[in-house]
Amino acid sequence: MPRRDGLEVLRQLREKGVATPVLLLTAKGEVTDRIKGLNAGADDYLSKPFAMGEFVARVRALTRRSGAFTPDQLTVGDLTLDRTTFELSANGSSVRLGNREYQLLELLMRQQGRFLSTEELMERIWGYESEAELSVVWAYISYLRRKLEGLNAHVRIAASRGRGYMLEAGT
């Protein structure tokens, strides 16, 4: 989106009372550009190139400010997912997850006790415009199940035909 149009859209959203946190990612890094972006209603501004760690830290800061604080570690049963290192641990063992594995498991952990359809997982992890097939979700569920077994976790990914997948904590 052209910068000028984007700033105008942002101004209009703010005028309508939309309070969704906005982080502008742009190639323009001059002080005057940052001032224009922040004055248009952006909550933060990051110019390219940027370090991924800084981007993640800024997104977390925006999340904290919005009142929807998300801890660095998610826990379900004896399973802990470290959101800063992508490490999954249980019973004294740990394994590092790949990006999609991490995204999928984080979503299942945050929605624990709720079935998520294959289509919903596909849309939320791979995106609407992804050319990947639904079978990619099945493959990643399989990868995660193997990792859970390898950790001897008392947590499993349950499947229900027509409903989807859900993370369950056992004893």
What is the domain-level CATH number for residue 130? 1.10.10.10
- Which residue, of 23, 43, 65, is where some domain finishes? 65
* 159 lies in the same domain as 89: yes
Domain boundary among 36, 65, 94: 65
Nearest Cα neighbor of 69 from 77, 59, 79 is 59
State whether 34 and 79 are in the same domain. no
Is residue 102 located within the same domain as residue 58? no
Same domain, 61 and 89: no
pLDDT of the chain, 171 residues: tens digit per residue = 444 577 888 888 877 777 788 888 888 888 888 888 888 888 888 888 888 888 888 887 777 765 544 567 889 999 999 988 899 999 999 999 998 999 999 999 988 889 999 999 988 888 877 788 888 999 999 999 999 999 999 999 999 999 999 999 986
Q: Does 47 share its domain with 81?
A: no
- In terms of domains, do 44 and 102 share one? no
Q: Are residues 112 and 151 in the same domain?
A: yes
Domain boundary residue, one of 65, 87, 109: 65
43 and 77 housed in the same domain: no
Which of 154, 152, 156, 157 shows the shortest CA–CA distance to 137? 157
Identify each DSSP E strand in the chain by its residue range: 23-26, 44-47, 73-76, 79-82, 87-90, 93-96, 155-160, 164-169
Q: Do 128 and 165 share a domain, yes or no?
A: yes
User: Which structural domain, as residue segments, surrounds residue 19?
Assistant: 3-65
Is residue 29 domain-shared with residue 87, that is, in the same domain? no
Terminal alpha carbon distance of the chain: 50
The answer on 94 and 153 residing in a single domain is: yes
Instruction: Indicate if 95 and 78 belong to the same structural domain.
Output: yes
Specify the pTM. 0.61
Read off the amino acid at residue 124.
R
Q: Residue 35 belongs to a domain with what CATH number?
A: 3.40.50.2300
Number of structural domains found in the chain: 2
